[in-house]
Every structure is written in C-alpha cells, then in structure tokens.
C-alpha cells in the first residue's frame, strides 16, 4: 500500500468487514491460508501469530499490523508488540506506521508513541465525509466520528489515507482535512480510487481534482495511486 514499506504482522485480521478489503487483504490471506494451515487467516478473523513476534522486516518503513486493524488486538498483546519494537536493535533507523479506523484506540498507548515520535506516525482512513450509507461499506466508526477522534489525538505526527475515495461533499470534506492540517500535525494525505473495482460510490474526476487542488493550495502534500487522471501538483 505504501512505497518502501513492509508489514509486520504478529496480529492479523479485522472485524470492520470493509467491502473493499475483501478482494485485497482478505483474498491475499486466503491464498496463503492453506500453506499456513490457519483457518483464522482464511476468514480474516482477528487473531495472533506469536511466532512472528520480533520478526520485524528490513525496510525503511514498517507498517505495524498492516494485514488487519490493530484495534482488534488486546491491550496486553499490543504492549507486547510495542515491546518487540523497543527490543529491535535497528529500530531508530526505521519509521513505523500505526493505522486504525478507530483512532481513539491509540490513546491508551500515547505515552509510548510520544516517546518514539521521531519514528512513529499515526494514520487513519477517511474515505469520505458522508456518514449516511457508510454502514453498507464498513462496520468501522462513521467518517465524521473518526475524523473527530483523530483530530482529538494529542499527537504531533499524523497521516490521513483517502483510499479508496468514496463520493463526498466537496466543501465539508475539504474542511475536515483542513482542520487536521491546522493542528500542525498532518504530514501528508494519501489519495486514490478503488483499485479492485468493487463498485463503490465514487466522485467524478472533476470533483476529485477540485478536492486535491484545494488541499495542495492550502499547503497539504498529497500523495497518490490509482488516480484515474487526477493530477497531483
């Protein structure tokens, strides 16, 4: 998902059941579930893989629990994962991404994040500003609640992923991102369309271009993939 990034997956799976994850993360796991002989992987149920603990990949950026949502790991197990990073000798040469669609979850680990802020970025996904109908897409907290929870995190390094983008209301969605930017904590925004052709409700290219232009004109860096003609300036 992110360039020069590898995932570290002592925890796998997610309970949010986003429809666009079925042909991506879930399908990938089904391909390897037979080899792993892991029924939980095949069904994308949240579960532990203790044998992976401490096997942090050699990549400039490590996406912690990138095959799932860390929200579904128990606090005790999350602390074990954080401890494995503390005990990883090259840890300060890496950057770590922690991403969740329930960002309020991060609050209980905030002391650790702040101690490691030089190398840790917190991320959340905001596909749209619209709550209505979102329950047909995902069981995650609705976008407006998620944006508020992410805004309220007392942390200085944040990234928003708008991928896959869903149809949105231009001015309110721009304002949602600008509020985060005004904190001084938003490092960049990741933007892109559905790459798996899931039949999602999407904005037209003109609206998407206006959205991106609004962000960049306000000094927000936008990175992207599957842009379908949208130009990043």
- Cα 29 from Cα 134, distance rounded (Å): 25
The mean pLDDT of 125-131, rounded to a whole number, is 98
Q: Which residues pair with 24 in a beta bridge?
A: none
Please name the residues in contact with 119: beta carbons below 8 A apart, sequence gap of 6 or more.
91, 92, 94, 95, 96
Please state, for a pLDDT cut of 70, what percent of the chain lies above it: 93
Tell me: pLDDT of 193 over 80. yes
Structure tokens at 175: 């304002």
216 Cβ neighbours under 8 A, 6+ residues apart? 222, 232, 233
Dihedral Cα 2, 117, 162, 145, nearest 10 deg:
150
For 116, the 3-state DSSP assignment is coil
Could you tell me the pTM of the whole model? Answer: 0.94
226, two tokens: 């599957």
């Amino acid at each position: 998902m992110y360039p020069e990034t590898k995932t570290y997956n002592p925890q796998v799976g997610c309970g949010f059941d986003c429809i666009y994850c079925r042909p991506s993360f879930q399908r990938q796991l089904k391909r390897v579930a037979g080899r792993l002989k892991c029924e939980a992987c095949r069904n994308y149920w949240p579960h532990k893989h203790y044998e992976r603990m401490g096997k942090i990949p050699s990549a400039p950026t490590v996406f912690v629990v990138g095959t799932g949502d860390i929200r579904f790991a128990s606090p005790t197990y999350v602390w074990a994962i954080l401890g494995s990073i503390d005990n990883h000798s090259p840890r300060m040469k890496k950057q770590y991404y922690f991403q969740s669609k329930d960002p309020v979850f991060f609050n209980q680990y905030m002391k650790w994040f702040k101690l490691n802020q030089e190398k840790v970025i917190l991320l959340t996904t905001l596909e749209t500003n619209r709550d209505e109908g979102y329950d047909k897409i995902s069981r995650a907290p609705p976008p407006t609640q998620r944006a508020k929870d992410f805004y309220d995190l007392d942390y200085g390094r944040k990234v928003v992923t708008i991928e896959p983008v869903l149809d949105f209301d231009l001015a309110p969605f721009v304002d949602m991102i600008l509020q985060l930017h005004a904190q001084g904590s938003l490092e960049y925004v990741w933007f892109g369309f559905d790459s798996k052709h899931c039949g999602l409700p999407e904005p037209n290219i003109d609206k998407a271009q206006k959205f991106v232009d609004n962000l960049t004109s306000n000094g927000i860096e936008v990175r992207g993939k599957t842009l379908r003609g949208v130009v990043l300036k």
